[in-house]
Amino acid sequence: MPRYNFPKIVVTGLGAVTPIGNNLQEFWNSLIEGKSGGAPITKFDATEFKSQFACEVKGYDPSLHMNFKEAQRMDLFTQYAISSAAMAIEDAGIDFEKLDRERIGVIIGSGIGGMWTYHHQQQNLYERDGKPDRISPFFVPMLISDIAAGHIAIKWGLKGPNYATVSACATSSHSLADALMILQRGDADMMVVGGSEAVVCPMGVGGFNAMKALSTRNDDPARGSRPFDKDRDGFVIGEGSGVLILETEEHAKNRGARIYAEFAGIGLTDDAFHITQPAPGGEGAVRSMTLAIKDAGLKPEDIDYINAHGTSTPFNDRNETAAIRTAFGDHAYKLAVSSTKSMTGHLLGAAGAVEAIATVLAMYNSKIPPTINYTTPDEDCDLYYVPNVSIDKKVRAAVSNTFGFGGHNASLCFKEYEG
């Protein structure tokens, strides 16, 4: 039984803009086909960078969801968020005219916010005589991380709780966790929730290169992201957005919504260990997964699938594997564990939402995406990572992990919906 007598919270809509698909069906098809989003960087000249490739969004058309003037006044991360929200709302079959918009909220997180906006405005300042009047009056509204949530609220007239979360790579998992708690306590009937990121830019790539966090497999970018593989050499930076529609079961049923899954539990912890490295043995991750499963009223052996944080870095993959072994005991070796970052790259603040979507779709379709580029087993990573090819498997319950710099850990637990 769940810890508290809260109403069921369900997932009714999904929308995504990703390096492997600019809509939900493209994204899911690419996941199942094991398609890599890694390719040489096109958004700027990366010739002098240690990492010259990324998982960029390709062929994105903002005009599908906003007019030219609106797009010009939004950073790319906000554009991605608007598009993902529009698709999620359509997927959920929502007619806002029939709903109480004061009972509908928005939480869209971003780990960094409008980094491209900062880049362009700084260029305006220093390349045009250093005069402050060169800075756009839209600089701050385009830059700040909460603006995507604000734009979504304005576009659809949604007047419930509205803000952004920021917790590095755990950002949009915290968005989902907050939305769950808001719905459970009765402060809203529906939440538009997720995350967005667009930092494939000189400072984004350069900063992570300076930390030696990124893969430098420039000669083979499609195989740069290789979670749990012995030859992994860092993560591949990505961009995009994911948005989910969450609502109470009663609200969803009353409007005749299709239900993908139940969002059943959350586990939120911190390592309190190091600003970038995970705690030894994934101690904080053990606690976040254990709490999420308990919150869902489940036992470890009830979980069939884990969408791993799986960054393709030496530290994360080894410690996350150890954490899964500790949290699940012998059942760890019966789990299907995969990292969709092997295909999308690391979407930073958007990772949690995009990977939650992948987890929900795996459950809904009884099909688990693979971990691609898995060629050389690592003795420290000894679980079943669904190597290279997707599998058909019924998923009764699943956990999605995200862990961020600062020691932030967020685990989300989804269950097969039983009406």
Same structural domain, 327 and 215: no
The domain containing residue 295 runs over which residues?
Answer: 265-415
Residue 4 belongs to a domain: no
Per-residue tokens: 261: 């899954």
Q: Which of 55, 65, 151, 169 is catalytic?
A: 169
Indicate which CATH number applies to the domain containing 96.
Answer: 3.40.47.10
pLDDT digits (tens, 9 = 90+) for 384-393: 999 999 999 9
In this prediction, residues 4-28 reach a mean pLDDT of: 96
Q: Is residue 2 part of a domain?
A: no
Mean pLDDT of 270-291: 96
Cα–Cα distance for residue pair 188/237, rounded to 1 Å: 35
**pTM, to two decimals:** 0.97
- End of a domain among 254, 287, 320? 254
Q: Looking up tokens 């939305």, which residue turns up?
A: 179
The yes-or-no verdict on residue 216 having pLDDT over 80 is yes
Please report which residue ranges of 98-224 form alpha helices under DSSP H: 115-127, 139-143, 147-156, 171-184, 202-210
Q: Are 34 and 323 in contact (CB under 8 A)?
A: no
- Domain-ending residue, one of 209, 229, 254: 254
Compute CA distances 176 → 107, 199, 287, whole Å.
8, 22, 18
> Which entry of 65, 151, 174, 309 is annotated as an active-site residue?
309
Nearest to 171 by CA among 398, 402, 412: 402
Q: What is the pLDDT of residue 130?
A: 67
How does 103-118 read in b/e, with b if 16+ C-beta sit within 10 Å?
bbbbbbbbbbbbbbbb
| Residue 315 covered by a domain | yes
Contact 107, 190 (CB under 8 A): no
Q: Which two tokens stand for residue 13?
A: 């809509």
309 is catalytic: yes
Query: Domain for residue 43, yes or no?
Result: yes
Q: Has 413 been annotated as catalytic?
A: no
Of 10, 5, 4, residue with least CA distance to 264 = 10
Query: Residue 96: which pLDDT band, with cuts at 50, 70 and 90?
Result: very high
Number of domains in the chain: 2
Of 109, 155, 116, whose CA–CA distance to 139 is shortest? 116
- The single residue of 65, 174, 251, 346 carrying the catalytic annotation is 346
Q: What is the pLDDT of residues 135-151, one digit of tens each?
A: 899 999 999 999 999 99
Are 205 and 278 within one domain?
Answer: no
- Residue where a domain stops, chosen among 229, 254, 279: 254
pLDDT at residue 1, as a whole number = 55
- Is 260 part of any domain? no
